[in-house]
Amino acid sequence: MTLYIDKINNYIKALDTETLMALEGISSDKKYKKGDLLLQQNEICGKSFLLIDGIARKYYLNDGKEITTELYFENDLAVSFDSYTLQQPSREFIEALTDVSVSITHYRAFEEAKARFPKLVHLDLMFVEHYGMWVENRLFQFHTMTATERYLDILKKSPHIVQTVPLTIIASYLGISLETLSRIRAKI
């Protein structure tokens, strides 16, 4: 999976100058403070956010509780996938967990660029394929692993999460209560 990220990066590097220029031309940098919302619920996700620095998360409300669906670090691409794809109101929020700086690309601008530079369609495809495999893997974990196994998996593959993100958020990301996560940690 990490390999696929490399493949995407290599693809970008190998783009012709014109296409690269087009990409750069439609991106702009912006900074957010800790706690800021990059995307509100019910807002249409009309931008993608490439994290340059900081930590962010995506979450939604279920029975008044925040359920974290994704955590973003440096070089991750933050969007509400279905809202972005269908250009429909988002169920999800995107929130800065620390001060963050991002590179923003507008949906419209990217669509127009894709129409003019076909290689960007292929790039888009690669992004979506990568996300699809990531979600599939996460579903796999919920389908077959216990809470403890899921936590250990994070500890092993993404220790930076445990070091930087509050347990309350990690618990909701794992689909368990804060108390259960606390007990899992006490036991290992």
Partner DNA sequence: CGACATATTGAGATCCATCAACCAATGTGG
Partner DNA sequence: CCACATTGGTTGATGGATCTCAATATGTCG
Binding residues for DNA, how many (CB under 7 A)?
18
Closest to DNA by CB, 27 vs 180, is 180
Are residues 83 and 45 in contact, defined by beta-carbon separation less than 8 angstroms? yes
Shortest spacing between CB 78 and DNA, in angstroms: 20
Per-residue tokens: 139: 């579903």
Per-residue tokens: 159: 């220790």
Closest to its own copies by CB, 100 vs 181, is 181
Contact between 167 and DNA by CB under 7 A: the answer reads yes
* x/- track of binding to DNA for residues 131-160 (CB under 7 A): ---------------xxx------------
Q: How far apart are CA 3 and CA 6, in angstroms?
A: 5
Closest to its own copies by CB, 100 vs 165, is 165
Are residues 129 and 4 in contact, defined by beta-carbon separation less than 8 angstroms? yes
Residues that bind its own copies (CB under 8 A): 3-4, 62, 67, 69, 81-82, 85-86, 118, 121-122, 124-125, 128-129, 131-133, 135-140, 142-144, 175
Q: How far apart are CA 5 and CA 103, in angstroms?
A: 18
Helix (H, G, I), strand (E, B) or coil at 139: helix
Shortest spacing between CB 140 and its own copies, in angstroms: 8
Are residues 69 and 135 in contact, defined by beta-carbon separation less than 8 angstroms? no
Cβ neighbours around 36 below 10 Å, total: 13
Contact footprint for DNA (CB under 7 A): 146-148, 166-168, 175-186
